[in-house]
Structures are given as C-alpha cells and as structure tokens.
Structure 1
Amino acid sequence: MCNETSSRGERLQPRQPISGRCNGLTALSLHDENVRFAATPGVSEHNRSANFVPGYLNSHSGEWVLSRFRDGTPAPVHVLDGLPPTWVARRDAAGNVVQTRPGIISGFIRNGLFYTREEAMLALC
C-alpha cells in the first residue's frame, strides 16, 4: 500500500490502492476507476460543469499535467498517450502508452490544484 498525501498536504487514510498508484496506470486500471466512480463527481462526465479538467499527478515529484491526446491537444477524459515521456513505463509496438511508472495518479485539475478522484467527489457532494 502506498503512503500518500492529498494535494493540500493532508494524509490520506490507508486503504486499498486505486489502480496505478503503486504499480502504474493502464487503460484497464483507468476503466476500473471509471466503474468505481460511475455516477459520482469522480468522473469527468459528472464534474466538468464545475470546471474540473482531467489530469494526472506524479506523486514523486508533485508535478501535475492535464490529460492530453498524443498530439498534445487537451483530452476531455483521461488518456495516457499524452503523458510526459518520463512518466511512461511501457509502450506497445505502435507507440501507445501501455503503463505509467508507479506513482502516477489520475484525477482532476481545478483552479491550479490537483484533486484525486475522491477529493473531486467530496468537493462536489
């Protein structure tokens, strides 16, 4: 299990890690997160109107980035192909991101702050 803090420095409660926090994100783990948070503000569809934008946090460096397509344009949902190359652990033969490095967390950016899916959900509930 990973020890993590929120973007505001609060210690998160220990629990089962979400998808790639310890092992790296994959398309399947992003799908699992969407299923887990379906019908809540923890998915783009339900928080976009509150100005949440899909993004990722590198929990090792504290740097966050917006979710982007491979060509660099902002993506309306979480996609892996636009991540910084140093955040990528594996690519397939076509160059698509298959897995991120450990410590990359999917979430949302709003007003210059990163929110985990849980934090976005709590902010809007």
Structure 2
Amino acid sequence: MKRLLNKERLKEENREHAGTGGRSQENGGLGFSPAFLDYATFAIHLSRFADGQPAPFHLLDGLPDEAVRMRAADGRVIAGKATLISGFVRGGFFYTRSAATKLLREWDRKCETE
C-alpha cells in the first residue's frame, strides 16, 4: 500500500536528505523552489502557504483540492495523495530530491575542475 504524503513523511525525507542538497535550506539559494509532482497526473504544485503565498520549504497546506487526500476541520491538509512526490522546480523542470542532490554534486565537481 502506498503511503500518503504527510508532515511526518516530509520530516523523514528532510532527515534522509540532510547535507545532500536535497532540502530547501540547502538549495533554495541556487534557484530551486520546493514543489510537489503528482505522478498520476503529471501536475506540478509549487509549495505554498494556506493563503497561496509561495513557501520557502515543503508545506502541504497550500496544495489544491485535487492533490489532497485528507483535510482537518479547519482546512489544514493532513495528507496529500499517495501519488505526490516532494522535490523542486528550477528553470521550469521538476527535480526529485535525489535528482537535485545529484545535480548539485555534479556542479560541485565541475566547479572544482574549473
């Protein structure tokens, strides 16, 4: 059974990618914006606060209804669809956390050789 995307899973992903460049704190200054890809529909949703403003980190509260599986009575998102992947948008392209990590590693190698 696929796991729904929730706050705990995002925390787990942040721990897993700490120090790799696969977190907003580590790549935001390089033009990466936190986002979610729904691999069932290929829709990309930028991470947003509940009021629609862009969020500087992965946040579920600004997801549109079509990407949400469960909401609390006050409207907060409890879980996104199981088909959501957290990652980043840069230059119009979606990068998974792992892809962002790999790209940053390659940039570092290139900078070392120049």
TM-score (norm 2): 0.88
Which among 101, 104, 108 is matched to residue 124 of structure 1? 104
Which among 79, 87, 107 is matched to residue 107 of structure 1? 87
Aligned to 1:7: none
1:58-77 matches, within 5 Å, as 58-77=38-57
Q: List alignment gaps of at least 5 residues for structure 2.
A: 106-114
Considering fraction of residues, name the structure with more helix: 2
1:32 aligns with 2:12: yes
- Which protein shows a greater Rg? 2
Structure 1 CA distance, aligned partners of 2:33 and 2:83? Answer: 20
Aligned to 1:15: none
Aligned to 1:52: 32
Which consecutive aligned stretches of 4+ in structure 1 deviate over 2 angstroms post-superposition? Answer: none
Aligned to 1:87: 67
Structure 1 CA distance, aligned partners of 2:68 and 2:89? Answer: 20
Q: List alignment gaps of at least 5 residues for structure 1.
A: 2-21
Amino acid at match of 1:62: F
CA offset at residue 24 of structure 1? 1.8
Amino acid at match of 2:22: G
Aligned to 2:21: 41
CA offset at residue 111 of structure 1? 0.3
Q: Percent identity?
A: 43
Structure 2 CA distance, aligned partners of 1:87 and 1:52? Answer: 21
Structure 2 CA distance, aligned partners of 1:65 and 1:89? Answer: 15
- 1:20-74 deviation digits (Å, cap 9, x = unpaired): xx32200000000000011111001111121000000010111101100000000
CA offset at residue 93 of structure 1? 2.1
TM-score (norm 1): 0.81
Alignment coverage as a number of residue pairs: 105
Amino acid at match of 2:96: T
Cα RMSD, aligned residues only: 1.1
